[in-house]
A = this chain, B = another copy of it.
């Protein structure tokens, strides 16, 4: 795992490489004074990414100063000033693209999350993300989900037990799989199992797991499972859920709804830097 600072350092190197040749050629002898700039929203949504933008300008020289006017998790409309920056023009130009790429990406996710969260606001179900994230940016995409009002599912393969078909196929039965997990895994972790039918759900329910993921079950099947469960274990609906059907799933009374759409269905939110 990279530290946050190293992640930004590498992202900046990707863009700047051996140097910004345009600024070097044009601003070389200009002995420029620090200039002011603002980051402004160009569309409406929820801001997320403040910490990463800060790290971008910290990495460049350390003399740049950035102050966020709108903090993560808050709404903006087009024209709203999100942050004020000051620094040498060549440095602001160097960090501009990376800062905006990150801010747009994370704010887009927060904005889309907020939309989905509002749709199911009146129901018990809470919104969860998945492991379908952009490699190397998962921590931050999951942060954006929280800024949008959603909750996170596990961070990776290391912090939560999720038993899938392939595991069950290898071990032989749901019962044995759960037994192995209980015996071998650190007791600080919860044990979740993925089922893809009502029959499998019933078998899992009788094995003492903490949490059952109902994968690709219809709204009717999820309703059935919720009834059968009667609050015994945590129930999560998953698989092909997005804004077109999320309310139907929420109405079943399920505890959690998880969907990759919360991150993968988002579009970048538009921001610009004006000098």
Give me the interface of A with B, judged by CB distance under 8 Å. 1-3, 7, 9-11, 13-28, 30, 32, 89, 93-94, 97-98, 101-102, 104-105, 126, 128, 131-139, 151-164, 166-167, 169-171, 177, 180-181, 183-190, 192, 211, 234, 256, 264-265, 267-268, 275
Contact = CB atoms under 8 A, between A and B. Distances in A.
A209 to B, nearest CB: 12
Contact of A101 (B3, B17, B132, B186): B132
Which secondary structure dominates where chain A touches chain B?
Answer: mixed
Chain A to chain B: the 7 pairs with minimum beta-carbon distance, closest first: A17-B158, A25-B184, A11-B135, A1-B1, A20-B157, A159-B159, A152-B186
A172 to B, nearest CB: 10
Contact of A154 (B153, B156, B188): B188
Q: How many copies does the complex hold?
A: 6
23 contacts: A1-B1, A1-B13, A7-B136, A15-B135, A19-B158, A21-B159, A21-B186, A25-B161, A26-B170, A27-B167, A28-B184, A89-B170, A93-B167, A97-B131, A97-B157, A101-B134, A134-B134, A153-B188, A155-B159, A187-B256, A188-B192, A190-B190, A264-B268
Contact of A26 (B9, B16, B132, B167): B167
A7 B160 CA distance: 25
Given A153-B186, A158-B17, A264-B268, A167 B131 contact: no
Contacts of A21: 157-161, 185-186, 189
B137 A134 contact: yes
Contact of A139 (B18, B27, B190): B18
B15 A157 contact: yes
Given A17-B157, A158-B159, A181 B97 contact: no
